[in-house]
Chain A
């Protein structure tokens, strides 16, 4: 816990930072329900720098997925703005590729290789042949070369998510957006996928915006964590987590950090409810 606060202070020391890659500035988001318009987030601001592994963490109802969709361009902010490379985000685009939680994000009518190559080709980045080559390169990175000609329905959930990650990486987006990508996987596969994601980041150094509701996953995957409080989503804290990886999971320091995040997320609960006598 001491370590975390110390590094948080350290990060505020450099006065001249390079311009942020992605800036979310005072964003208020709303969604229209059956009979009313509900505010999902309120005045949320954060900055993501190149090669960040930025995690949005919060309990359900904190609007973290809605925020990710807004960065993806699927939702227009009610107030505030989202800037990518200084330009406002306008609609979905191939420079912000999303990896969804659901396994049905892969078009079932395309083989694994086509699934990865198709968006590269239709977004006009590469021709058919080079797109297939790039697909093979990234499929090799996620260890799925053997399944390049299989259809998604023949793959397990973890493999489908690997394809989705390979597809996102093959687009070489400015920001990779991940919406609880491992939440629907079993615990063992999830751990392995986290490991692989970190190894890929070590190699490719992409910029990642990652949404999760798991404190452990946030500490392991992220180098910086934004905590959101629910109903509506508001900024609670931004913490550093670059010193944690999967191997430090059991240590006392890691536990202390997790407890601190837990306290920050849940201390808003009124005392008479949190401590019944």
Chain B
């Protein structure tokens, strides 16, 4: 009652008219189907491989044009020449051999770095002390260029694979640990409580709940680590190329630059680029499609 008295007179506040109700059946659906097929050009452009292929073709054309205008094979060989040199050295087995040497060292260093990063991060999420250890070590060592550690590595591990693996671990471990830790800390609280509700503890809790829940960050860290590892390896081989005994791609590039085979230098660079593209677009892409994309964790 008191509410009605608070209202202003009806004339000042227009009320909507009361209209009659009605009922009727919905009208028939127009057309045979409510879905329509997408036109072919649009469908083709939805394919990421096609879009990326077009970008690569455009870059190759640009390269060829610039090289022709410049007209100095020693400074910038054309795309065609580079591909020829690339093909020759693949056919005579030089590039595959060098690439195999590089990948062998790379995988050893990368995998050790991943394992160490995982151990460090697991410690960091299970105790406050571990967290401080991780954040202190990461802020100390992450900015340190791996190449700056190579002289030390050579001193400690000699002229073999050991010193290269040492710098590779250093280049992979810190960025990956940082990403993993961020991923673990951003797992939703509800999901954590769910995991503990199942009675999971310790490593089982980490592997069955935290790792899958933090997988977007972990995969991002693995990609960054992979790129860092390649850079470090090629740079290390360029500086101390023969240190591993059997030369890798960096050594191949270095040798050919000394002998002014610029087309072979570019062939070596292309090999590194191709390996990177394959790992990124085939390996990591597959992992993402089977996991985080399928689970709807990333778009």
Contact = CB atoms under 8 A, between A and B. Distances in A.
B209 A107 contact: yes
A195 B188 CA distance: 30
A122 to B, nearest CB: 6
Contacts of A98: 193-194, 197
Interface stretch (B40-48, B127-135, B288-296): B288-296
Interface stretch (B83-91, B95-103, B198-206, B266-274): B198-206
B291 to A, nearest CB: 7
A69 B196 CA distance: 12
Interface residues of A, number: 26
A108 interface: yes
A94 B215 contact: no
A159 B194 CA distance: 18
A193 to B, nearest CB: 18
B61 interface: no
Interface string B156-170: 000000000000000
A123 B294 contact: no
B191 A105 contact: yes
Given A72-B197, A74-B196, A100-B194, A153 B295 contact: yes
B190 A100 contact: yes
A92 B296 contact: no
A102 B190 contact: yes
A94 B215 CA distance: 25
Given A94-B198, A122-B204, A122-B208, A104 B190 contact: yes
Nearest to A95: B199
Interface string B35-78: 00000000000000000000000000000000000000000000
Nearest to A74: B193
Contacts of A100: 190, 193-194
Given A151-B294, A154-B296, A92 B193 contact: yes
Nearest to A108: B295
Contacts of B190: 100, 102, 104-105
Interface in A113-152: 118-119, 122-123, 151-152
B213 interface: yes
A48 interface: no
A60 to B, nearest CB: 18
Interface residues of B, number: 21
A104 B186 CA distance: 13
B207 to A, nearest CB: 11
A214 B200 CA distance: 33
B215 A109 contact: yes
Interface in B199-239: 199-200, 204, 208-209, 212-213, 215
B297 interface: yes
A97 interface: yes
A109 B194 contact: no
Chain B contact residues: over half helix, strand or loop, or mixed? helix
A93 interface: yes
A123 B188 contact: no
Interface in A211-262: none
Contacts of B213: 107-109
Interface in B123-153: none
B212 A107 contact: yes
Q: Which of A92, A123, A151, A152 is most buried by chain B, counting CB atoms within 10 A of its CB? A: A92
A109 B199 contact: no
B199 A93 contact: yes
Contacts of A123: 198-199
Nearest to B201: A91
Contact of A151 (B188, B194, B296): B296
A105 B212 CA distance: 14
Contacts of A69: 193
B209 A92 contact: no
Contacts of B193: 69, 72, 74, 92, 98, 100
Contacts of A122: 198-200, 204, 208
Contacts of A154: 296
A152 B191 CA distance: 13
10 residue pairs, one from A and one from B, having the closest CB atoms: A153-B296, A119-B198, A108-B295, A109-B212, A92-B196, A102-B190, A94-B199, A109-B295, A105-B190, A123-B199
28 contacts: A69-B193, A74-B193, A91-B196, A92-B193, A92-B199, A94-B198, A94-B199, A97-B197, A100-B190, A102-B188, A104-B190, A104-B191, A105-B190, A105-B194, A107-B194, A108-B213, A108-B295, A108-B296, A108-B297, A109-B212, A109-B213, A109-B295, A109-B297, A118-B208, A119-B198, A122-B198, A122-B204, A152-B296
Given A94-B198, A109-B215, 20 more contacts: A72-B197, A74-B196, A92-B193, A92-B196, A92-B197, A92-B199, A94-B197, A98-B193, A104-B190, A104-B191, A105-B190, A105-B194, A107-B191, A107-B194, A107-B209, A109-B213, A109-B291, A109-B297, A119-B198, A119-B199
